Amino acid sequence: MTWRERFAALKRLPPLFRMVWETNRWLCLCSLGLRLAAALIPIASLLVAKRILNDVVATIRHLPVPATDVWTMIGAAFVLAVVADALSRMISLSDSLLGDRFTHRLDVMIMQHASSLDLASFEDPVFYDKMERARQQARARLGMLVSVASMARQSITLFTMMLAVVAFSPWLLVLLALSTIPVFLGETKFAFLNYSLLFRQTPAKRELDYIRYLGASRQSAKEVKIFGLDGFLGQRFRRIFDSFYADNRKLAIHRAVHGTAVGVVPSVAYYGAYAYVVFQALHGLLSVGGLSLIASAFSRSRDIMENLVSQFVDASEQALYLRDLFEFLEARPTLVSGTRPVPRPIRLGFEFRNVSFAYPGSKKKVIEHISFALGPGEKIALVGENGAGKTTITKLMARLYDPTEGQILLDGVDLREYDAERLRHEIGVIFQDYMRYDMSVSLNIGFGQVAALADQARIERSAEKSLAAGVIAKLPQGYDQMLGRRFEGGTDLSTGQWQKVALARAYMREAQILILDEPTASLDARAEFEAYERFVELSEGKMAVLISHRFSTVRMAGKILVLDEGRLVESGSHAELVARGGKYAGLFELQAAGYR
């Protein structure tokens, strides 16, 4: 990494400061004011100490000194110590309060921005790595802010100390500055080597987190025990960790050896300057108090300059992580939402015109040249083997992706022209991999229409529609029952019961288009048939899309689309397709034979 790139990373600091300022301006001003006051305490303490020493020496030599002067200075030293302690505690308090508010704001920003991005972003490993670094490092950035604020405070203290040193000998200041250059170059080099190492390790660290999850989670516990995966997972975890440790150990040792060698330079400079100051005092060119002041000022200046170098290097390293954070926050969705309102009611329906689609980063088309129409009140079923493109079609309808080729029209208008959020509000969809929220029953259902979370009657109607009401009636706390085992008092449901709750979430939408993408795949044949029969009944007058592997279910649809390797090979009613003797008839016969 070049120096230009290193300093370019520091450009991220002003936007971060602006974010902190906007978090709470009063706390920011309070923190800055306290630090300014604290920065002046050290030089004031040294001046008081000088006065005390000179008065003591003068008294010993029987020179005239006001009787109360020494005790007044001791009182002043006490007051400065108390004030310094109070300022330190108040700075910690303001930093703590500001830190809590800032990290909260940053967490919310990351969550909200993540929700605004395309589904494709979360399926891109490079982007996902960047998001993980931004998420994991967000809270650590507060330490960098404290470090920068400390640098400002120490810079003021350093300036006051340097005034004393310069007044005695400007060359001491030049010597001090030159001695910190090797330390600065060395620390900067290793800071960026450390970032580069972390950057390379991000994908593997995500794998470590995943293995840790598999090895100690309720979801994976059964298979881990039955298949005896604990040994394999442990060995894989250790192998990846050992690789991390070897790289980190090598860099840490190199940094320690180099730092020890370079650290000799400031020590030589300090003790050389110290000897010069003592020589001046021995020849009567400096008072005892002056000796104490200059020696202490030079020593503190050296410590402050080394701290500033270290903190600057740390800030520049942290700024690299800021790059991940801001690049994530600057990421924009590739799907640009239109502004056109979605018609209500929909009059003409959907039309796929020669639509093809390949997932981002892949050249293989999942669907190719698909054309069909879905009119108001019409129900279609999508049939095909796994990977045929059924789910992809539903994602395109909800505009989670845009077609690679062709057009999707809604009431004769390209789907891209509609407001994407409003479009999705008109679609009630439940996928096979639906979410199981470790929250109350009411929230699990109400999430289908967040704006109606307080409408308990609507939540209960949705539960009635999905046949989840019977399940909920048996729960100890009914709709207030916590689901899942993540939190205390939670209860888990069977797969079939979870599916009924998820279906209720889709019905909560009261949308114009309903899509069921195999959410009942784990139910037995009768339970699935009843669920789909209920779905068809409740979707009367609405557009509906059914996806199921069971032909007893899909035959409920008025029209069936048969997909094969991404292509639409047949369409028609169940009776028409069976009579045709094609792909659908073959699949139907194959399944029917299993029940004979």
Contact 69, 289 (CB under 8 A): no
Question: Over its length of 596 residues, how does the chain's per-residue pLDDT go in tens digits?
Answer: 555 666 666 677 788 788 888 888 898 888 888 888 888 888 888 788 777 777 777 776 667 777 677 788 888 888 988 998 999 899 888 888 888 888 888 878 877 787 777 777 776 667 767 777 676 665 566 666 777 777 777 778 777 777 766 666 666 666 666 666 676 666 666 666 776 766 676 777 777 777 777 776 666 665 666 656 677 777 888 888 888 778 778 777 877 777 776 666 666 766 676 676 677 767 666 666 666 777 777 667 777 777 777 777 676 666 766 777 777 787 777 778 888 998 888 889 999 999 999 887 778 888 999 999 998 888 898 988 877 888 889 889 988 888 999 999 999 899 999 988 888 888 887 777 778 888 889 988 988 888 888 889 999 988 988 888 888 999 989 999 988 877 778 888 887 788 888 888 888 877 888 888 875 555 666 666 676 677 777 777 788 888 877 777 777 788 999 998 889 998 888 888 888 888 888 887 777 665 55
Domain 436-510 belongs to what topology?
Rossmann fold (3.40.50)
Residue 104's pLDDT is what? Answer: 80
For 361-439, where are the alpha helices, taking DSSP H only? 390-397, 420-425
How many helices and strands, by DSSP H and E, does the chain display? 22, 10
Crossing angle of helices 13-23 and 25-39, rounded to 10°: 110
- Residue-range domain boundaries for the chain: 3-330, 436-510
DSSP secondary structure letter of residue 410: E
- Count the neighbouring beta carbons within 10 Å of the beta carbon of residue 500: 24
Tokens of 168: 């005695």
Which residues have a Cβ under 8 Å from the Cβ of 27 and sit 6 or more positions away? 94, 97, 98, 101
The CA-to-CA distance between both ends of the chain, in Å, stands at 69
| Burial per residue of 477-499, b for 16 or more beta-carbon CB atoms within 10 angstroms, e otherwise | eebebbbbeeeeeeeebeebbbb
Distance between CA atoms of residues 588 and 102, nearest Å? 59
Share of the chain residues as helix, strand and coil, in percent rounded to the nearest 5:
65, 10, 25
Q: What is the pLDDT of residue 18?
A: 85
The type of residue at 32 is L
Q: Using an 8 Å Cβ cutoff, are 408 and 392 in contact?
A: no
CATH number of 3-330: 1.20.1560.10
pLDDT of 353 reads 93
What is the C-alpha to C-alpha distance for residues 134 and 117, in angstroms, rounded to an integer? 15
d(CA 40, CA 46): 11
